[in-house]
Amino acid sequence: MSRKAIFGAAIPIVAILLATASFVVFEPIQVLPRIRLAPGFSLIDQHGESLTSEDLRGSVTLYTFGYSRCGAPCDRLNATVSEIMDRLDEVDMDPETEIRFVTISFDPDTDTPERLDAYAEEIGADGDRWVLATARPGHVENVVKAGFKTWFERRDDGTFSYDPALVLVDGWGVVRGEYRYQTQTSDADRIVRHLDVLAEEIRNAHGAAALAYEAAHLFLCYP
Amino acid sequence: MDITASTPQTPDTGARWRKRLRIGVVALVVLAVGVYGARTVLARARPYVFHGSVIQSTEKAPQVSLQSGDGPVSLADFAGEVVVLYFGYTFCPDVCPTTLAKMARAMDLLGDRSDEVNVVMISVDPERDTPEIVSEYVRHFDPRFIGVTGPPEVIDRVATVYGVYYEKAEGSAATGYLVNHTATLMVIDREGYLKVVLPFEGTAEEIAADIEYLLEH
């Protein structure tokens, strides 16, 4: 009788401890790391319009880097972006949060808005969800190299060697993912999965975190 | 058992009830200790919630080396102390004065602890803001505030890596041109890591709370 009672009292306690331990061990809530601050920037897009980091605050954005004369070497990267765009129905994103794709050209001398627009058509960038843009020469170096921590270098023949990276930035302007190597799972698979993890985090955002989305315009010093 | 066992008067039944009571008390005490323990552990494990975007970078905050009215200023000068960076400009009509006033109030709230906090405003208008102008401007809000600027290409790099967008915009004849810019506060901890980016909307109390946490941990 007394033994039964002790068991009766012990079972719920053991259950609580086990649940806590399993939570710590298995981490059922998956969160992407907050790798670093994404750069602030002011670009000119394929329509000749300004595109700034503040315009993208509140949206989840996947950045890639390239240039219109790139040709075949950029194909795989562009195909990855296209594949992710086609699979966005797998991501349960809050309807208020847009998923955007921005390809930054590090060849501003050649890539005028007209050239970017023509290149966009070639690779299937619609100019709305997926935008091509560049910046004035000094700024583009700061954004791509110092800001996004990737690299490019002009070769003697005018082509570029560059880092085929994809960088995922959340609506608060924080880098949440960097993708460089094709592993067993493709980059597209991983990125789609990570977008879904981010979507869950955004749905659960509250307090100051939610404020960053709601009051994005207040971050600016308006006249 | 015989029928007398069910009558409460017998000493046998009294002993059994005492035993049940003892078990009950032991179970309650175990449960209370367990709940109290779990709550204590969970409260310790629950992380402090900052009032802005948390950064968990493994790299130290990007280096800043610029000029104030009193000479060169670098992040390395503040090793072991907390630094708050703000990007603004002295012609700024509303956001910058509001933010700096709020920051000054947060320093007051921190009391003596504010001695270990360095507030640095970096000008995003290097054409008009000389080191002297920007230093004098920030001292109006708190004599300890530091104002710095530098060559436009250096400012562009520093602002970019700190996630700050800025661009000239048209103003009136009275104000001259304006500069749109990201109006966040970047808080760097004692070890030189950028820890949290506070939004413009935050209150002085929230800013002070986050800084206090970083001073203690």
| Mean pLDDT score of chain B | 90
Measured in angstroms, the CA of B139 and the nearest CA of chain A are apart by 21
Closest CA to A103 of A52, A36, A166: A166
A5-59 tens-digit pLDDT: 777 778 878 888 887 676 555 555 568 889 999 999 999 999 999 999 999 999 9
Measured in angstroms, the CA of B183 and the nearest CA of chain A are apart by 5
Is B171 or A171 the better-scoring residue by pLDDT?
Answer: A171
Continuous segment of H or E residues that includes residue A63: strand A60-66
Residue B8 has pLDDT above 60, yes or no: no
Which site among A7, A37, A55, A145 would you substitute to test the B interface, given the most B Cβ atoms closer than 10 Å to its Cβ? Answer: A37
| Mean pLDDT score of chain A | 86
What ipTM was estimated for this complex? 0.80
C-alpha distances (whole Å) from B84 to each of A69, B61, B77, B103, B120 are 43, 12, 13, 9, 6
Identify all chain B residues contacting A35, using CB atoms and an 8 Å cutoff.
Answer: 56-57
Other C-beta atoms lying within 10 Å of the C-beta of residue B45: 9
Determine whether the interchain pair A5/B23 forms a contact, defined as Cβ–Cβ distance below 8 Å.
yes
- Characterize A109-144 residue by residue with b for buried, 16 or more Cβ atoms within 10 angstroms of its Cβ, and e for exposed: eebbbebbbebbeebebeeeebbbbbbeeebbbbbb
Kindly identify which residue of chain B lies nearest to residue A38, measuring between CA atoms: B163
Average pLDDT over residues B117-121: 97
**Would you say B107 and B119 are in contact if contact means Cβ atoms under 8 Å apart?**
yes
Identify all chain B residues contacting A53, using CB atoms and an 8 Å cutoff.
Answer: 163, 165, 182
Identify all chain A residues contacting B202, using CB atoms and an 8 Å cutoff.
Answer: 208
Q: Which of left, alpha, beta for A72 (phi over 0: left; psi -120 to 50: alpha)? A: alpha
**Lowest mean pLDDT across A170-179, B4-13, B57-66, B104-113:** B4-13
CATH of B53-216, one of 2.60.120.330, 3.40.640.10, 3.30.930.10, 3.40.30.10: 3.40.30.10
pLDDT on residue A213: 43
A76-126 tens-digit pLDDT: 899 999 999 999 999 999 888 999 999 999 999 999 999 999 999 999 999
Determine whether the interchain pair B160/A39 forms a contact, defined as Cβ–Cβ distance below 8 Å.
yes
Is A46 or B95 the better-scoring residue by pLDDT?
Answer: A46
Of the pLDDT bands very low, low, confident and very high (cuts 50, 70, 90), residue A219 is: very low
From chain A residues 152-211, the ones with a CB under 8 A of any chain B CB are 172-174, 207-209, 211
Of the pLDDT bands very low, low, confident and very high (cuts 50, 70, 90), residue A214 is: very low
